[in-house]
Amino acid sequence: MAVYSTTRRFLAGAICPRCEAVDRIQVYAEGDRDFRECVACGFKDEMYFPGTARELPTRVKPDKSGSEAQADKIIAFDEKAGKE
């Protein structure tokens, strides 16, 4: 699955790995593959993006009862009002 669109777009601040030109890299998709290409030297490379990682299990378990915990009201204490 391609991440980028088929329209070629410049990638701001990108540096070419071959000629080290700044702001000369275009990113685009062909079919279901993503590419980056330098317009200065002609360098072309296919980009691979890792799939989404599964969520790690934690020791905190969600409450399965469906009820939310009771919230406690916090009253701010004004020190100046207490000294009068």
Segment 7-51, tens digit of pLDDT = 999 999 999 999 999 999 999 999 888 999 999 999 999 988 777
In a domain, 57, yes or no: no
Please give the tally of structural domains in the chain: 1
| Residue 24: per-residue pLDDT | 95
Locus of tokens 């490379």: 45
Chain centroid, CA 9 distance in Å: 19
Q: What is the pTM of this model?
A: 0.56
Assigned domain for 18 exists? yes
Helices (H), 1-84: 79-82
Mean pLDDT within 52-80: 72
Q: Are 16 and 25 in contact (CB under 8 A)?
A: yes
Cα separations (Å) of 31 from 25, 35, 40, 47, 51?
Answer: 19, 10, 24, 13, 18
Range(s) of the domain holding residue 25: 1-50
